[in-house]
Amino acid sequence: MTKSLMHKSTKTQSGTPKQNKSLLQGRRDLLKLAAALPLAGGLAACASTTAIAPEKSATSTATSTPKPTAVRKPVVVSTWEHGLPANAAAWQVLSQGGSALDAVEQGVRVPEADPAVRTVGYGGYPDAAGEVTLDACIMDHQLNCGSVAGLKRIKHPISVARAVMEKTPHVMLVGEGALTFAKAQGFVEENLLTEQSKQDWLAWREQGKAKSQINIENHDTIGMLALDSQGHLAGACTTSGAAYKLPGRVGDSPLIGAGLYVDQDVGAATATGLGELMIKTVGCHLVVELMRQGLNPQQACQRAVERIAAKIPNAAEAQVGFLALRVNGEVGAYCLHGGFNYAVQDASGATLTDAIHLLPGVVA
């Protein structure tokens, strides 16, 4: 059940130089700039960044080391601004000694139910056929995990994913099978296409747009990571996926390792942006393994973004962002283009922070 939203005072701190905002005014400029950038070499990291040894094929000019973050628990972190009310719901669980697993489930149910959040759950952008199809996964500190993909007409895919984890011997259910399972578990079918989403889809169809894209208008998946007072980690990720995607398309968000990964020995990571890029690099597993090798959360996220930028042609046409939480409570994030932010909640309150980015410019 979703608990009341009572998050504490919110302060916003920016990790991105203000002047970057004037460099790019929109997606068109962004794409022009991207085309002019030599992706596999010569990328200069933006804003202050870290002194990690570069990827073989990437040439980040990283120079400074990030400030160490205070060790803390419990703590919850989420992607994007809608992470603030989601974290607040998770905090209700964590602050009362509840588990990280319960916290992340309760937390992400908030944007799943909010029609104003157009990229998660109810009210999310539909696929090219006008159907809202949802992807979600959840993972605990013992590598237990559950996932659903292409789930229709169920408002809370994260809770179905948890049921897959707890009540079946499987990790992932898709499409009709996932819906049949959800109904058998007592989840109620309902229409998820709001009038607003329907009108937007009709307008998109009218314009005859040929392909779905992740851009500044539609890249707002929620990924949430929590560390509870027992010291246990858990994570959840839920989305309606790429707007107007081909029916049947599955992104990174329900894929363990791509959109979410949790390893109690090390930490957890989640992702947002064009899922195909995270799938190709198994991005969140990569971030966790980089932390295992000794990088801090921000350095690990940076390295994963650099990997994507260096190895995937035209990656700069999309956005990707990673968010990581180390088992000691340390938080880090990094993204390809400016404009990705993340919410953190702990006993000291709630913050929203702009992630440091690799390419110049901010997509507002």
Supply φ then ψ for residue 276, to 5 degrees.
-60, -30
In degrees, rounded to 5, the angle at the alpha carbon of residue 159 between the alpha carbons of residues 154 and 165 is 125
User: CA-to-CA distance for 170 and 40, rounded, in angstroms?
Assistant: 39
Question: Which residues have C-beta within 8 Å of that of residue 105, sequence separation ≥ 6?
Answer: 138, 158, 159, 162, 236
Which of 74, 123, 235, 273 binds ligand SD4 (CB under 6 A)? It is 273
Residues involved in catalysis: 221
**Least distance CB 86 / ligand SD4 (angstroms):** 14
220 makes contact with ligand SD4 (CB under 6 A): yes
Which helix H or strand E contains 237, and what residues bound it?
strand 233-239
Give the pair of three-digit tokens for residue 253.
């968000």
**List 272, 299, 345, 351, residue binding ligand SD4 (CB under 6 A):** 272
Q: Does residue 351 interact with ligand SD4 by CB under 6 A?
A: no
Closest Cα partner for 2 from 161, 109, 160, 83?
Answer: 109
Q: Which stretch binds ligand SD4 (CB under 6 A): 95-103, 152-160, 179-187, 250-258?
A: 250-258
User: Nearest approach, Cβ of 251 to ligand SD4 (angstroms)?
Assistant: 2
274 near ligand SD4, rule: CB under 6 A: yes
Return phi, psi of residue 88, to 5°.
Answer: -60, -40
Residue 89 and residue 343: Cα distance in Å, rounded? 13
| Parallel/antiparallel/unpaired status of strands 267-273 and 222-227 | unpaired
Q: How far apart are CA 260 and CA 282, in angstroms?
A: 9
Q: Does 214 bind ligand SD4 (CB under 6 A)?
A: yes
Instruction: Please state the closest distance from residue 199 (CB atom) to ligand SD4, in A.
Output: 21
Q: How far is CA 49 from CA 152, 286, 344, 355, 359, in A?
A: 41, 19, 20, 10, 12
How big is the site for ligand SD4, counted in residues (CB under 6 A)? 15
Binding range to ligand SD4, per CB under 6 A, among 17-25, 38-46, 169-177, 238-246: 238-246
- Per-residue binding string, ligand SD4, 38-77, x by CB under 6 A, is ----------------------------------------
For position 119 contacting ligand SD4 by CB under 6 A, the verdict is: yes
Rank residues 157 and 329 by Cβ distance to ligand SD4 and give the closer one: 157
* Contact pick of 157, 241, 332, 360 for ligand SD4 (by CB under 6 A): 241
Q: How many helices (H) and strands (E) in the chain?
A: 9, 13
Q: Which of 87, 99, 239, 298 contacts ligand SD4 by CB under 6 A? A: 239
Applying CB under 6 A, which of residues 118, 155, 219, 307 lies at the interface with ligand SD4?
219
Identified binder of ligand SD4 from the candidate list 98, 157, 251, 267, rule CB under 6 A: 251
Q: Is 148 in the site for ligand SD4 (CB under 6 A)?
A: no
Q: Distance between CA 272 and CA 82 in Å, rounded?
A: 13
Neighbouring C-alpha atoms within 13 Å toward the C-beta of 241 = 30
Q: Least Å distance between CB 260 and ligand SD4? A: 11
Residues that bind ligand SD4 (CB under 6 A): 119, 214, 219-221, 239, 241-242, 251-253, 272-275
